[in-house]
Amino acid sequence: MTAAPDPSVTSERESAPVAPPPVRPAPAPSLASGEPPRSRRLLRSVLLGLGIFLLVVGILLPLYVYPRVAVLPEDPQTEQVLKAENATVLMADPSNPAGASVLTGVDVTATNFVSEARGVDGKGDNDAVWDIATRIEVDGRGLLQARVERLSIDRSTTESTNCCGDRLVESEEEPDGKPLRHEGYYTFPFDTQKESYQIWDVNLQRSSTAEYIGESTREGIDVYMFRKAVPLQKVGSRELPGGLFGSKELNVDAEAWYASTRTYWIEPNSGDVVGIREEITQQYTANGRTVTAFEAKLESGKPAQDRLDQASGAALVLPWLRGRASIVLILIGLLLFVAAALVGRPIRRRRTPAH
Tens of pLDDT, residue by residue over 237-264, are 999 999 999 998 999 999 999 999 999 9
Is the pTM here over 0.95, yes or no?
A: no
pLDDT score recorded for residue 20: 63
Residues 113 and 321: their CA atoms lie apart, in Å, by 30
Could you give the maximum distance between any two Cα atoms of the chain, in Å? Answer: 182
Cα–Cα distance, 235 to 258 (Å, whole number): 7
Domain residue limits, the chain: 34-63+318-347, 73-190+230-262+275-301
> What is residue 18's predicted lDDT score, i.e. its pLDDT?
58
In Å, what is the CA distance from 117 to each residue of 164, 176, 321? 10, 13, 30
Supply the pLDDT for residue 79: 94
| Predicted pLDDT of residue 33 | 54
Per-residue model confidence (pLDDT) at position 31: 45
Q: Is there a contact between 275 and 265 (Cβ–Cβ < 8 Å)?
A: yes
Contacts (Cβ under 8 Å, ≥6 apart) of 41: 35, 344
**What is the pLDDT, as a whole number, of residue 228?**
98
Question: What letter represents residue 95's amino acid?
Answer: S
> What is the crossing angle of helices 325-343 and 38-60, to 10°?
160
> Which residues in the chain land under pLDDT 50?
1, 30-32
Predicted confidence (pLDDT) per residue in 262-277, tens digit: 999 999 999 999 999 9
Closest CA to 151 of 127, 126, 174: 127
Q: Residue 252 contacts by C-beta under 8 Å, 6 or more apart in sequence? A: 239, 240, 241, 242, 245, 286, 287
Which residues, 6 or more positions from 326, have their beta carbon under 8 angstroms from its beta carbon?
58, 59, 61, 62
Q: CA 129 to CA 114: how far, in whole Å?
A: 10
